[in-house]
Structure 1
Amino acid sequence: MESLVIPVLILLIVGAAVLLVARAVGRRTAGATGAAAKTSRGTPSGDPVETAKAAAAKLTEDQHRRLYALIAQGQAMAAIKLYYEASGEGLRASRDAVGALAAHPQPFRSAAPKVPEHDDDDAPERFPYRYRAIASKGDVTREVSSNMLNDEIYGRIRTLARSGDTEAAATALTRHSDISMKQAREFIALLDD
């Protein structure tokens, strides 16, 4: 009997090790399956509301209207074909998207227009307030009032003037206000001290 104890203990230890390895592999496989559950475009297939929102965002207004007309008429295959051609996704992803759109109707939302960043070369932005810049030297005082100026722009103009680049400062001032180049030069002359 004593001779069987050691082999049985070894067998139990090996069995426990195999069980632990099987669990670890099972967890990795479940993680990989969850990652593979995403469609080719990265939309989670587990949440139909998010799938519907993502699917609706890929359609133009006309495609959106036609797709919901087909869904309302009960023409699921035609709706899947329309979505497949419109989105370029696979058949399974198109089927899931149309199913989600049917179960969770989405209103059409046009893509928000991209707002270009403002550079010094672009047309000046108009602000909802009037900015007043005042410069004086001795008895001479000049004022510029514009809704295309703000502290940042006026600070750049002053920096240009103080660094000796008066022509660039005057050009920037005329671009951000409604004054002539002559008036801008007179204003800048009062700043360059």
Structure 2
Amino acid sequence: MESLLIPLLILVAVTVAVVLATRAWSRRQQKPGGPEQAPPDSAELARAAAARLSEDEHRRLYALIAQGQAMAAIKLYYEVSGLGLRASRDAVAALAAHPQPFRSAPQKPSEPEPDDDETPQRFPYRYRAIASKGDVTREVSSNMLNDEIYGRIRTLAKSGDIEAAATALTKHSDITMKQAREFLALLDD
């Protein structure tokens, strides 16, 4: 009788495991979308979750995550996001698994930006633009120029709007209008 007890226990354990697996599979099939619907990408969920937070909320949430206070982090996210408890839990888990830096929401300008900035930005380097034709060479050196601004100036000059290009060049450098016109006249056609 004892020799049959161990195989009988194994048979019962296997039967219970098969029944539990079958139940889990049938529940999974009953969910909307079925098993072929993939869960959302955890990294994408983390990016979306971080976008819902202000800078202070972001800092507080990651402080709680770093301290291992998952329940407090979920509660905080639940309160500030307006999402449900399960969505808040998933968002905090995604944020913990894929840390996100704080990114402020991009502000949309109310008016279209003009080609030239109102006040030129100063860069930590000095930009040199050189134009030459034949034996004549001119150079403009400024810490208010960069490739993008100089490209816009060249585009204006090549399109025939020399005055706008000269104005932009004088605005982003320390040269006169006359010097700017001379420089632009030397640009390749």
TM-score (norm 1): 0.49
Query: Which residue of 99, 102, 106 maps to 1:110?
Result: 102
Match of 2:167 in 1: 171
| 1:133 CA displacement | 1.7
Question: What is the rounded CA distance, in whole Å, between the counterparts of 1:96 and 1:185 in structure 2?
Answer: 61
Residue type of the alignment partner of 2:33:
A
- Which of 155, 178, 183 aligns to 2:179? It is 183
Of 117, 122, 131, 1:133 maps to: 131
Q: Quick check: 2:166–2:177 contact (8 Å CA) kept in 1?
A: yes
Instruction: Tell me if structure 1 keeps the 8 A contact 2:154–2:165.
Output: no
1:166 positional shift? 3.6
Per-residue deviation, 1:32: 1.2
The corresponding residue for 1:145 is 140
How many residue pairs get aligned? The number is 151
Please, which runs of 5 or more residues in structure 1 have no aligned partner?
1-27, 39-43
Larger radius of gyration: 1
Q: Which runs of 5+ in 2 are unaligned?
A: 1-28
Percent identity over the alignment?
A: 47
Q: Which amino acid aligns with 1:177?
A: S
> Per-residue deviation at 1:173?
2.6
Matched residues in 2 for 1:70 and 1:156: separation? 51
| RMSD of aligned alpha carbons | 4.8
* Whole-angstrom CA distance in 2 between matches of 1:186 and 1:168: 14
Matches within 5 A, 1:6-155: 32-33=33-34, 44=40, 47=42, 51=45, 54-56=48-50, 58-67=52-61, 68-69=63-64, 72=67, 76=71, 78-98=72-92, 100=93, 104=96, 107=99, 109-111=101-103, 120-122=115-117, 129-135=127-133, 141=136, 143-147=138-142, 148=145, 150=147, 152-153=151-152, 155=154
